[in-house]
Structure 1
Amino acid sequence: MRQPRPRLLSPPAVLPEELIAEILYRLPVKSLLQFRCVCKSWKTLISNPQFAKDHLRISISNTSLTHQRLASFTNDNYGYYRMETCSVPSLFENPSTPAKTLSFQVEPYNNQFIVGSCDGLVCFCDQNGYLRLWNPCTRLESKKSPPVDLKPGRVNHRWFWDYGGLEKRFAHYGFGYDQVNDKYKVLIADSRHGTLYATRVHSFGTDSWTTIQNFPCALTSQVGKFASGTLNWLARKGDGSIKSLIISFDLEKETYGKVLLPPHVDGDELDVLSSCLCLCEFNGIHCGLWLMKEYGIQESWTKLASIPYGGVHYTL
């Protein structure tokens, strides 16, 4: 009897490299770190700096809170400081259960504060003026920056930090990304007893600080908000009026600029929402929330909400 011929197995389907990359872009960092062991081509792809940039771009475009994390410093009874982060969704999944956190331990008895965050990186400073970057997803940290000159006070031959903490020593600061030069930069303005000594900028990956011109007018906010390649603070006009404006610092050119608020609006709080500057205004009757859809274009300010408070309901 004639034996049936064995069936030839079809070769396994091979996905195009472009499609594989598109799938990997949408996976969490923890999975990507594991998938580097699948094969050499995946390891090469995932380890490519351009892959990291494309993965970040797609993650940012996700309008859900899947990739958002909260970060803070805590200390225990033994004097150890830790930076802890947790995902925003974990706070809502089961409110009665403590959220899972990632922890990064720093030197004991070394006061720390967070300068800012950008592209998933957290920039923090210690009491000796050294700054570092930490990636909560990969748990990798950068080398220390050169120390920024803090000009500490001296009492009883011991150094101390006035104004109740290291963070208060800096009148203004901010952290962001210079896309043109592919550098993460930090700005710090050192002050003491209300006097601004100097404003300095550091590019991570270099071994120096650059002293720049102090701010052109008095700022009313301490932390610079990063948007469109600039750091932004609320400020008062220098003509004696009480009207606010926004002072910006271009991280590429390292120059100052001004951004106008919506007409007839005075700002109280500045933040970032969906990569755009967001402004809060309190007028005693309601809270107005504004969004600048096109950076630097005054006409692009759009009012998102008007929230009544103080027992008075106000309708626009």
Structure 2
Amino acid sequence: MSDKHIPEDIIVRIFSRLPVKSLFRFTCLSKRWCSIILSDSNFAKSHSKTAVEQQTRGFCRLLLYDRRRLSSSELKTPLFGDDSTVRKLSCPFRQRRGIFLLCSGNGLVCAVNFDDDDENFYIWNPSTGFFKQVPHHRVSASTPYGITYHGCGYLSATDDFKFLVAGKEKKEKKQVVEILSWRAQVWKAIEVPKDMFIECNGILLNEALHWLGVHVSGGDKVLFAFDLAKEEFRRMSMPILDEGDKLFDGITVSMGKCLCLYRFLEGSYFRKHFGEQNSCIDLWMMREYEVGDSWTKFCRLRFSNIPRHIYKLRPLLVMEDSTLVGKWTYKTDAEAIRVGYDGVVLETNVLMDSGCRSLEYEESLLRLDDYDKVSSCHKSKVRSNK
């Protein structure tokens, strides 16, 4: 009888195209497959590279947390809102005062543990539980308010994970911007344009981080990008607003991997300028990356009965047929609202209490290798779970 077994390299190639959720099911097939899926860094890199090469974003999840709880939910419909997709997580470095999740890139999340005397950053994969401690940085991480902006991402060409963070220096309290190269194990100071002011999480797309910032001298909103490979900032073109004077509020990425800008128009502003009662979100999309003329107004999402005590309303996931919008208020539970492009609210789901924080991430198996080369000015032993 001829051997009908499929060669292992063929199976590995097939597995590299499957979502993480499906791969976890295959870990029970044998010890060999369990080891490849959960522990083989080469397979994890191949899987991550395949995901990056695809034209759509991977399986997106939303991390929700406060001092007592930490969970993640599947964002993409029709699974969103199904309790079976909610995972209760245990953070391996979470302690009494809790953690603050800064940013995510390629399935890895950068976080701060406020209980650490050394104010350490951590790199964590919520899907697999893998984590690494990243000590000996100059930016103060004693509170989240000392950290101005941040972002991270993996470069497959050089097999390197980079983490950029800006904030006040621990000792002199002056503003510093540093980037960590995991492969080189070095924190490096970054030169920042003097006319740039940025806050919040950088959005990863095409191996670059993106922020919606402010031009210091003019006060205009500006789209900044940071190339992770070249380690350089650059300005990108913005869409020209044809109605109203309300500037953009934030930035996100669609399922089709297009850069998006949005602005929230509350009821009073919308009524004054457009003669309508509802609040809305205007969503603009850059159809072709770095081509200024490709900016188009994608849609206007209308909302009724938006309470006055709302403090955040932002797109969580921009899809082909609808957009998932997160709503946070001071008095009621945080909610996610899925709105169709015909203006119909398709579903509403409670996320967590009003005080919860959130961070989107894409599932991956990515883990970081240990490297022996350590910078002479930042020598450190990196602690990890084995």
TM-score after normalising by structure 2: 0.61
Instruction: Name the counterpart of 2:137.
Output: 148
| CA shift for structure 1 position 249 | 1.0
* Contact 1:219–1:233 under 8 Å retained in 2: no
Task: Find 1:24's aligned residue among 15, 20, 28.
Answer: 15
Deviation of 1:69 after TM superposition, in Å, equals 2.1
Helix, strand or coil at the partner of 1:231: strand
Distance 1:221 1:300, change over 3 A: farther
- CA offset digits 1:167-220 (Å, max 9, x no partner): 11111111222333221111111138xx86111111224443111113432335
Aligned match of 1:273 in 241, 247, 254? 254
Q: Structure 2 matches for 1:5-84, cutoff 5 A? A: 10-15=1-6, 17=8, 19-25=10-16, 26=18, 28-35=22-29, 37-38=31-32, 49-57=41-49, 61=54, 67-76=59-68, 83-84=70-71
SS in 1 for 2:66: strand
* TM alignment of 1:128-167, pairs within 5 A: 128-142=118-132, 144-150=133-139, 161=142, 166-167=143-144
Q: 2:228 aligns with which of 251, 271, 292?
A: 251
Whichever of the two has the greater Rg, that structure is: 1
Partner residue in 2 for 1:158 = none
1:220–1:38 distance in 2 versus 1, CA, 3 Å: closer
1:1-316 alignment runs, 5 A limit: 10-15=1-6, 17=8, 19-25=10-16, 26=18, 28-35=22-29, 37-38=31-32, 49-57=41-49, 61=54, 67-76=59-68, 83-88=70-75, 91-94=80-83, 99-127=86-114, 128-142=118-132, 144-150=133-139, 161=142, 166-191=143-168, 197-240=175-218, 242-264=219-241, 266-274=247-255, 275-282=257-264, 284-285=269-270, 286-308=280-302
Secondary structure at 2:5 match in 1: coil
> CA–CA distance in 2 between the matches of 1:72 and 1:12?
49
CA RMSD between the two structures = 3.5
Q: For each residue in 1:129-156, what CA deviation from the matched residue of structure 2 results, as whole angstroms up to 9, or x when unmatched?
A: 31222222221212x112322458xxxx
In the alignment, the residues of structure 2 paired with residue 196 and residue 264 of structure 1 have an alpha-carbon distance, to the nearest angstrom, of: 36
Instruction: Percent identity, please.
Output: 23
Is the Cα contact below 8 Å between 1:145 and 1:207 reproduced in 2? no
Q: Give the aligned residue type for 1:146.
A: P
Contact 1:281 1:289 in 2 (8 A): yes
Q: Deviations over 1:222-274 (max 9, x none)?
A: 2111111111111233552x432211111111111011111236422111223
Which one-letter code corresponds to 1:272 in the other structure?
V
Q: What secondary structure is seen at the aligned counterpart in 2 of 1:55?
A: helix
Shift in alpha-carbon separation, 1:34–1:310, aligned structure 2, 3 A: closer
Instruction: Please tell me whether the aligned partners of residues 176 and 186 of structure 1 are also in contact (alpha carbons under 8 angstroms).
Output: yes
Judging changes above 3 Å, is the alpha-carbon distance between structure 1 residues 287 and 43 closer, same or farther for their aligned structure 2 residues? Answer: closer
Distance in 1 between residues matched to 2:62 and 2:163, nearest whole Å: 20
Decide whether aligned partners of structure 1 residues 31 and 219 sit closer, same or farther in structure 2, where only a CA change above 3 A counts.
same
* Superposition deviation, residue 221 in structure 1: 3.6
The Cα shift of 1:48 comes to 5.1
Residue 29 of structure 1, CA deviation = 3.5
C-alpha spacing 1:233/1:17, structure 2 compared with 1 (3 Å): same
Q: Is the 8 A contact 2:139 2:176 kept in 1?
A: no
Residue 106 of structure 1, CA deviation: 2.2
Partner Cα separation in structure 2 for residue 238 and residue 215 of structure 1: 10
Listed one character per residue, the Cα deviations across residues 255-302 of structure 1 (whole Å, up to 9, x for unaligned) are 110111112364221112233321103454353211223322212223
Q: Which SS does the other structure have where 1:246 is aligned?
A: strand
Gaps of at least 5 residues in structure 1 are: 1-9, 77-81, 153-160
Question: Is the contact made by 1:291 and 1:304 (CA closer than 8 Å) also made in structure 2?
Answer: yes
Q: In the comparison of the two structures, how many residue pairs are matched? A: 277
1:310 shift after superposition = 7.0
User: 3-state SS of the aligned residue for 2:229?
Assistant: coil
For 1:38 and 1:225, locate their aligned partners in 2 and report how far apart those are by CA, in whole Å. 36
| CA separation of 1:279 and 1:298: change in aligned 2, threshold 3 A | same
The whole-number CA distance in structure 2 between the counterparts of 1:245 and 1:220 is: 9
8 Å Cα contact 1:217-1:235 kept in structure 2: no
1:228 maps to amino acid: N
Which residue identity does 1:70 align to in structure 2? L
Give the counterpart letter for 1:125 in structure 2. Answer: V
